[in-house]
Structure 1
Amino acid sequence: MKPTDPRSPGHKSKRPTRKQRAMKAATESAGPHPDVHRQDGVRLQKVLADAGLGSRRACEQLIQDGRVEVDGVVVRELGTRVDPQAQSIHVDSMVITAHTDKVYLAFNKPRQVVSAMSDPEGRRNLSDYLKNRHERLFHVGRLDYETEGLLLVTNDGELANRLTHPRYEIQKTYLVEVRGQVAKDVGARLKAGIELDDGIARADSFKLLDATPGYSLVEIVLHSGRNRVVRRMMEAVGNPVTRLVRTKFGPINLAEQRQGKMRDLRPDEITALMEAVGL
């Protein structure tokens, strides 16, 4: 056999040794380090990436290589979550200062407010509710002028892009008041798909909540982010919308939040959003 043949005596194989494979398997199968893991925290690799140490994948490699310490403990598990404001993080003995400029807000948008930071027509818009904020913020998706309810506002571009990308199929829940009685087959029709001028739109779920002689109240869940899709779907089945409120965006609930109020998301809500899009 030639000396370059990997089977020849003395040849140095590029394959990992049995010990290296065992260590890698143990690392990958291990759960988050119990001494430093914070259930409501942020994934360690995201903290490192936000601090400018490279791409998310490069930061994952730093962790797997044993180059990252949290509170003096070497962390190799990619599932570890941390609180960058309360915990000490080092890479190669260099202290990491986490960015503290990320903002995550939930806004209960009233009717006749434009989902934009300005409006050439002078109508009320999001900037009217953000006068005390100095960050460059933007909304995640949009609600049309007449629609009320939950709108997320942030300066985290990566999270916002994933939340609105069709790949992640983030569900949105709407409370819908419509004109007239809803036919028994409407739920099945909406879930099967309604042909609109820009393609078929489907509801993930449909529920009739209440009915009076002239109006019905329904709940619709769907992951489409197309313009005025709920209004167009209900119009197509013969029940025009008279009032539309988004009550949930992914794992975030509007709950009892007052109309026109902007609030900071809780750490567990931020974590839930990131988990929903694989961050």
Structure 2
Amino acid sequence: MKDINEVKTEKLQKVLARTGMGSRREMERLIETGEVAINGQTAKLGDRVSINDRVTVHGRLVKLVAEEEVPRRVIMYSKPEGELCTRHDPQGRRTVFDRLPKLKGERWISIGRLDINTSGLLLFTTDGELANRLMHPSQQVEREYAVRVMGDVKPEHVKAMVEGVMLEDGMANFTDVQEFGGEGINTWFHVVIMEGRNREVRRLWESQGLTVSRLKRVRYGSIFLDKRARAGEWIELTQQEIDQLSEMAGLEKRRVKGSIDSHDRIERQRKKTRAIRSVNKNHRPN
């Protein structure tokens, strides 16, 4: 029989990810560097901890919290072309993190990436476990893109991309391809893919001798890009939308007592977005 007084332990990388320091995969890499210690001993992958343990990162004490005590926050961001999905760029180019709201004691973790020439929906969360699960191929989370294609798209091209094409990093396919109008160099399609490999949408079209001239992500799982969020703006998701993502990821819904009501939070963030928009109008990259 299980001791009711037994302290719950979890994998170290999962507990660290919950603090907002990064995704679970990022925390695994951090542990491998030897910069994480548990009760004074260098940690290793596979170690488990409870909230009563003393964990340090780079010598600094990390405040551990129980899973049920941490609010799960998610925002959608409308990424414009030309921004990088990295926290810092040595060349000083704008990144998607530059315009996100500031957090105290946490940080935003990107759920997936978009390349520099792709625009549209990016999701960010404070919950590393949620980010990890929604990105993992085993979850089979749909990503939908609007694609403008240059070239004569024939039924056999679509058939091949749905059935599967061997790319340099393995088989890939769209689960759905729908034409959305236009003609010639201005033909639009919507495609659905179940994973997020590098430039996978573009490479699938290129495998058929076709060129993607515009690419925009419009949906990630159950979340559609909100038209109220113009390029370079963000909106915080409602509790209902966060619950849908949590269920999709196989996580329990999390309601923290004393946290901001969803509607109030959304209104506050929209006001901040308008202020950010005003500041960004005057911002010019070096």
Q: Report the TM range for the smaller structure's normalisation.
A: 0.5 to 0.7
The 3-state SS of whatever aligns with 2:180 is: strand
CA offset at residue 224 of structure 1?
1.7
Structure 2 contact 150–184 (Cα < 8 Å) conserved:
no
Which among 78, 101, 121 is matched to residue 108 of structure 1?
A: 78
Structure 1's unaligned 5+ residue stretches are: 1-13, 15-51, 57-95
Q: List per-residue Cα deviations over 1:69-117 (Å, max 9, x = no partner).
A: xxxxxxxxxxxxxxxxxxxxxxxxxxx9953553211111000101112
Q: List per-residue Cα deviations over 1:169-223 (Å, max 9, x = no partner).
A: 1010000001122112222111100111111101110011113133311110011
Give me the whole-angstrom Cα distance separating, in 2, the residues matched to 1:103 and 1:191. 35
Give me the whole-angstrom Cα distance separating, in 2, the residues matched to 1:216 and 1:117. 34
Aligned to 2:168: 197
CA 1:259 to 1:163, structure 2 compared with 1: closer, same or farther past 3 Å?
A: same
Over the matched positions of the two proteins, sequence identity in percent amounts to 35
Give me the whole-angstrom Cα distance separating, in 2, the residues matched to 1:214 and 1:120. 35
Q: Does 1:252 align with 2:223?
A: yes
Amino acid at match of 1:278: G
Structure 2 contact 111–122 (Cα < 8 Å) conserved:
yes
Q: TM-score normalised to the size of structure 2?
A: 0.62
Aligned to 1:268: 240
Q: List per-residue Cα deviations over 1:33-62 (Å, max 9, x = no partner).
A: xxxxxxxxxxxxxxxxxxx96569xxxxxx
The 3-state SS of whatever aligns with 1:210 is: coil
Aligned to 1:127: 97
CA offset at residue 126 of structure 1?
2.2
Aligned to 2:17: none
Amino acid at match of 1:167: S
The number of residues matched between the two structures is: 190
Q: TM-score normalised to the size of structure 1?
A: 0.64
Structure 2's unaligned 5+ residue stretches are: 2-6, 12-65, 252-286
Q: Which has the higher helix share?
A: 2
Amino acid at match of 2:88: S
CA RMSD in angstroms, aligned pairs only:
2.2
Structure 1 contact 149–246 (Cα < 8 Å) conserved:
yes
CA offset at residue 246 of structure 1?
0.2
Aligned to 1:139: 110
Amino acid at match of 2:198: N
CA offset at residue 160 of structure 1?
0.6
For the pair shown, the structure with the greater C-alpha radius of gyration is 1
The higher-RCO structure (CA 8 Å, 6+ apart) is 2
